[in-house]
Amino acid sequence: MAGPLRRWLPPLPLLLLAAGGLRAAERSGGSSSAMEELATEKEAEESHRQDSVSLLTFILLLTLTILTIWLFKHRRVRFLHETGLAMIYGLIVGVILRYGTPSTSGHDKPFSCSQEDRPFTTLLVNVSGKFFEYTLKGEISPGKIHNVEQNDMLRKVTFDPEVFFNILLPPIIFHAGYSLKKRHFFRNLGSILAYAFLGTAVSCFIIGNLMYGVVKLMKLVGQLSDKFYYTDCLLFGAIISATDPVTVLAIFNELHADVDLYALLFGESVLNDAVAIVLSSSIVAYQPTGENTHAFDAAAFFKSVGVFLGIFSGSFMMGAVTGVVTALVTKFTKLHCFPLLETALFFLMSWSTFLLAEACGFTGVVAVLFCGITQAHYTYNNLSVESRSRTKQLFEVLHFLAENFIFSYMGLALFTFQKHIFSPVFIIGAFVAIFLGRAAHIYPLSFLLNLGRRHKISWSFQHMMMFSGLRGAMAFALAIRDTATYSHQMMFSTTLLIVFFTVWIVGGGTTPMLSWLNIRVGVDPDQDPPPTNDSFQVLQGDGQDSARRNRTKQESAWLFRLWYSFDHNYLKPILTHSGPPLTTTLPSWCGLIARCLTSPQVYDNQEQLREEDSDFILNDGDLTVTYGDTTITANGSSGPHTATTNLDSRRTKSSSEEALERDLGAADHEVTSRGTRLVFPLEYNA
């Protein structure tokens, strides 16, 4: 090799000009240059073939997974979920690629570059007058300099971690927000927020401190060969606190398990992923001043807290604003006349939210999650019927494929990843720390939450939530994103084993655990258990729906009840084709603005448009039943039944009552009886 190794960063036109000149020189170099050019073309063709084979491998893995899933569903097999199945197939292919394919390249030759004090992302190497470009792949420890991967096929199936964050994670997270069952979610909103924010922080610090003790033990027994700081332990706590009970939730969905338990688990996992990724970013941002950059520093700690709040709130605002912009575009344009364009715009705006947040220094996971919630709440109402079906099915398919792809890659990575560091002490300590962290996460918080909950979180629910703390795609993606150091490589290898164990063992034990804890299954997701307080039970007619909505109102988080009136009276009329006309909610001097912002459909349609999963917020006494011309309310009062149809009478009603009538689709008339309703008081059972 001749010529010095140096950094070269010329402008693109100059680089293209040099490349063109080099090609011209090679073509005039005679038969030797022609042979070299032919060899280069063959290498490029071989590289293209290997790229196709690597992608084909994953497509075949997904195809095989889908067919096996069908077989399992047909045979009603529930001991192994589709994600665990994808991991098994990935393991099999990883073994074949690792031990069944020969090495295809053995020309790597290290050389020294002592005059440079840091690595460069791109290098231009002069080899006998010919320039070759090289890119940085990562650091290699001196002990593994001769163990660099020599199998080109294994190199091809090892993806850049950014692929997971920028391509595979967005549809998974967006689908979680877009398919959110808002009724049950907001009924338990306070508990979900407590589990997701406070619980995740508690779990992170407990796991981090316990693992720091494990690291100290490893150092004493001589099993720690490199640096492992306290901040690394906290980072591991944040990574492994990201729960992903996809297996449990899928089984819950198939068995129609208790809706409140499903809402608590699903809501916690959705927000927990967002909290975990922001928490990990805050820990990375923790940089104490002074010589010891890993010691505790109060100023650096509060700075990290500020980073956490800033990143989370900024990402939340970015996601919500993108959803609002999409809602306005779909409302004030005629895109609904072209469902294909409407669906394409919806897709691009949703995906761009993730990339925009990452480009601005925020967290795309948080942004795309709240973008999905906002799109479901506002934009969905503006879409045509065809686009509604398309968007739901599109993101459902993308979510399914991306999630199974990640789990397949997990199985593959166990054999294809070249920087694994497995430490038995660290692995055992991690399992113990996760168990204790999850217990401290669930039981104390449930006790505190039950002090203020009308319907308590039972012990069986708490045990099931404790059992359901699986780790999955988010923990894997966070761990693989940075594997440059010894500590991070050990954390990644341990995370991989934890994901395997929780998906296979815990996921497979979900059905027996439901039976053992006597948790009810076969429940209609729109049906609630009988109320435990004095009430009326309606045996015929639509009064059952009223009772269900009354229970939802009583149990909805107070914060949501405060926000709901403002949202229904102002935001929905501005952003969607539903809600009351702004001319009835805004002051009279805002008449011109109100008429401009109110959609004509609000005036034209007597039955207001509403989404499928509307949130019902009622006032006390809204539960009424009728018999003939007599109306009986929940408090026992009765009176003649009259129907009100004029607009002025609606103005005298409370905003939440208007919300009820419109969400029920009863815009200009009260719900009336179409037959006799038999009403019986229920005895209160303590």
| SS3 readout for 596-663 | HHCCHHHHHCCCCCCCCCCCCCCCCCCCEEEECCEEEECCCCEEECCCCCCHHHHHCCCHHHHHHHHH
Q: What is the Cα–Cα distance from 240 to 208, expressed in whole angstroms?
A: 10
Examine the pLDDT at 11 and tell me if it is beyond 50.
no
Q: Which residue has better confidence, 158 or 65?
A: 65
Confidence of residue 215 (pLDDT cuts 50, 70, 90): very high
Q: Is 620 left (phi over 0), alpha (psi -120 to 50) or beta?
A: beta
What pLDDT is stored for residue 194 in this prediction? Answer: 93
> Taking CA 611 as the corner, what is the angle to CA 607 and CA 612, rounded to the nearest 5 degrees?
105
Q: What is the Cα–Cα distance from 665 to 686, expressed in whole angstroms?
A: 36
Examine the pLDDT at 620 and tell me if it is beyond 70.
no
Examine the pLDDT at 207 and tell me if it is beyond 90.
yes
What mean pLDDT do residues 342-346 have?
95
Confidence of residue 77 (pLDDT cuts 50, 70, 90): confident
Q: Which residue has better confidence, 134 or 683?
A: 134
pLDDT tens digits, 457-469? 999 999 999 998 8
Examine the pLDDT at 606 and tell me if it is beyond 60.
no
Percent of the chain topping pLDDT 90: 31
Confidence of residue 286 (pLDDT cuts 50, 70, 90): confident
Q: What is the Cα–Cα distance from 206 to 212, expressed in whole angstroms?
A: 10
Tokens encoding 458:
């039972």
How far is the CA of 7 from the CAs of 113, 115, 135, 138, 346, in angstroms?
11, 11, 11, 17, 43
Q: Which residue has better confidence, 643 or 55?
A: 55
Confidence of residue 529 (pLDDT cuts 50, 70, 90): low
What mean pLDDT do residues 236-251 have?
85
Q: Which residue has the tokens 């069986």?
A: 460
Average pLDDT, the chain: 76
- CB distance 343 to 354 below 8 Å: no
What pLDDT is stored for residue 141 in this prediction? Answer: 61
Tokens encoding 14:
């100059």
Confidence of residue 185 (pLDDT cuts 50, 70, 90): confident
Confidence of residue 10 (pLDDT cuts 50, 70, 90): very low
Confidence of residue 370 (pLDDT cuts 50, 70, 90): very high
Window from 191-195, 346-350, 353-357, 588-592 with minimum mean pLDDT: 588-592
SS3 673: coil
Confidence of residue 24 (pLDDT cuts 50, 70, 90): very low
Examine the pLDDT at 198 and tell me if it is beyond 50.
yes
What pLDDT is stored for residue 212 in this prediction? Answer: 94
pLDDT tens digits, 467-510? 988 888 889 989 998 888 899 999 999 999 999 998 888 888 88
- CB distance 445 to 514 below 8 Å: no
SS3 242: coil
How far is the CA of 223 from the CAs of 217, 220, 429, in angstroms?
9, 8, 13
Which of 326, 340, 332 is closest to 386 using CA atoms?
340
The pTM of the full predicted model, rounded to 2 decimals, is 0.76
Q: Which residue has the tokens 């992170």?
A: 204
Examine the pLDDT at 617 and tell me if it is beyond 50.
no
Examine the pLDDT at 535 and tell me if it is beyond 70.
no
Examine the pLDDT at 35 and tell me if it is beyond 80.
no
For residue 162, the tally of other CB atoms under 10 A from its CB is 10
Confidence of residue 171 (pLDDT cuts 50, 70, 90): very high
What mean pLDDT do residues 71-94 have?
84
What mean pLDDT do residues 101-124 have?
65
What pLDDT is stored for residue 31 in this prediction? Answer: 62
Please report, as a single letter, which amino acid is at residue 295.
A
Confidence of residue 378 (pLDDT cuts 50, 70, 90): very high
Query: Where are the extended beta strands (E) located within 49-191?
Result: 122-127, 130-135
Q: Which long-range contacts (CB under 8 A, 24 or more apart) does 390-397 make?
A: 390/339, 390/343, 391/178, 391/343, 391/346, 391/347, 392/178, 392/179, 394/343, 394/347, 395/171, 395/174, 395/175, 395/178, 395/179, 395/350, 396/175, 396/179
What pLDDT is stored for residue 51 in this prediction? Answer: 81
Examine the pLDDT at 405 and tell me if it is beyond 60.
yes
Furthest C-alpha separation in the chain? 105
Cβ neighbours of residue 374 closer than 8 Å, sequence gap 6 or more: 319, 320, 322, 323, 324, 327
What mean pLDDT do residues 636-641 have?
44
Examine the pLDDT at 325 and tell me if it is beyond 80.
yes
